[in-house]
Amino acid sequence: MTIVQICYVAFLCVFLVLVILVFMNQSFERFKLPNGMRVIFVPEPQNVATTILVLVEAGSKYETKDLNGLSHFLEHMCFKGTEERPKAIDISGELDGLGAEYNAFTSQEYTGYYVKVAANKSEQALDIISDLYMNPVFDATEIEKEKGVIIEELNMYEDMPHRKVHDLLMEALYGDQPAGWDIGGRKEVIKKITRDDFLKYRGEHYVASATAIVVAGAFDSNLFKKKIEGNFEKLTKGKKVGKVATSEKQSKPIIKTQYKKSDQTHLVIACRAFDTYDDRRFALEVLSDILGGGMSSRLFQRVREELGAAYYVRSEVNLFTDHGYLGIAAGVDHKKFSIVVSAILDELKKLAKESVSEAELKRAKDHLVGRLMLGLETSDALATYFGGQEILKQKIVSPKDIIRHVNQVKSSDILVIAREFFVNSKLALSVIGPYKDSTNIAPIFRFR
């Protein structure tokens, strides 16, 4: 190595150590407003930015089939005008004028609205994000126009098979129930949604007890406490409407295909697991990292380096409040599809038969810890980390505690989980590519 390379490596090592020291001891403050709304402050006086994130327990799993997509549509409409800022340009123009990054997102179980700005613009940003959350007008004309936008967003995802294949997996695993529905909804439903639907749904779900706000970065805590209390004091205390529990029924491998002319086949192989509250989640994360957490992972080496069959192959854990799964995604050469599926199943079988070596276990743990620490560098990442836990669990596990749990995982924990969940009765596959049905896939998709 050259002197420059040595110095660069040394810098990275020192930087990582400093990041770990800072975030292992990351402080936060959690309190409630008189109306029951939760507030989390994650102060970083040295930061140049501030992120404000408002989360609400409202997502596609809270919908009925005839209103599937309403949660996501409502998120769009909050940016279309408020009482104080009646037009979309009034909101976007003011935020752009602050040099802000801003957006919103909808998942199965919650919706989020955020803005990230230079710290000296944080008070104005708070006022805007509070206004669009508290005071949307749901103008009927804007609703009709936005239907076209939503439909084009759905069309866009149809043209992104590497993303759409994950929606197809949820349908395969959970079928015709909220957990199996598309978060964006169906076009025929979107076209029928009315202003009254928005008002009713918002009244049932956008209540104080189901709302949390996170402020991370550089800000004046005392000032923000007063402003948040004032901005959100009128948020209703109404009782939150719940969601239907997810039902899981399976006795053999499930396969769901979607025909599409494409240059590669996109697939996700999944195994049902458990919910986000299960203590085994740390062992599952380590297992997932061993499988497909980086370029040294088993699947990357097997599928990309040895077979030369894919550009991307990765493993991830997705856990919700009442269900969860481990999923392995890849985009592969059509001609090597069967070989790749067999190779992935073979790697799963190995984990259920043979204990992971201590060296591989340590590498996976270090990889997870490093990604966690580096992933918490920014104010928006911190806001998401603390807010995501608060809205789902109403309990915060610090980075330090997560590292401790990860480092406590043993090879025997990996073996137990693999043997319990890598079985045919928990196996599912979603495929987008030139396959009109699963006739030729079914014979190869099972553990033997």
Report the DSSP beta bridge partners of residue 214.
40, 53
Q: Any residues with CB less than 8 A from the CB of 410 and at least 6 apart, and which?
A: 361
Radius of gyration of the chain from Cα atoms? 23
Q: Which of 44, 57, 63, 75 is catalytic?
A: 75
Residues 392, 386 contacting (CB under 8 angstroms)? no
Q: Cβ–Cβ contacts within 10 Å for residue 293, how many? A: 23
List the Cα angle 107/113/117 in 5-degree steps.
Answer: 135
DSSP letter string, 69-95: THHHHHHHHTTS-BSSS-SHHHHHHHH
Q: What is the DSSP letter of 159?
A: T
Structure tokens at 268: 């996700």
| Rounded distance between C-alpha atoms, residue 342 and residue 338, angstroms | 6
Q: Cβ–Cβ contacts within 10 Å for residue 283, how many? A: 23
316 carries an active-site annotation: no
Nearest partner of 273 among 423, 392, 448, judged by Cα: 423
Residues 356, 297 contacting (CB under 8 angstroms)? no
Report the catalytic residues: 75
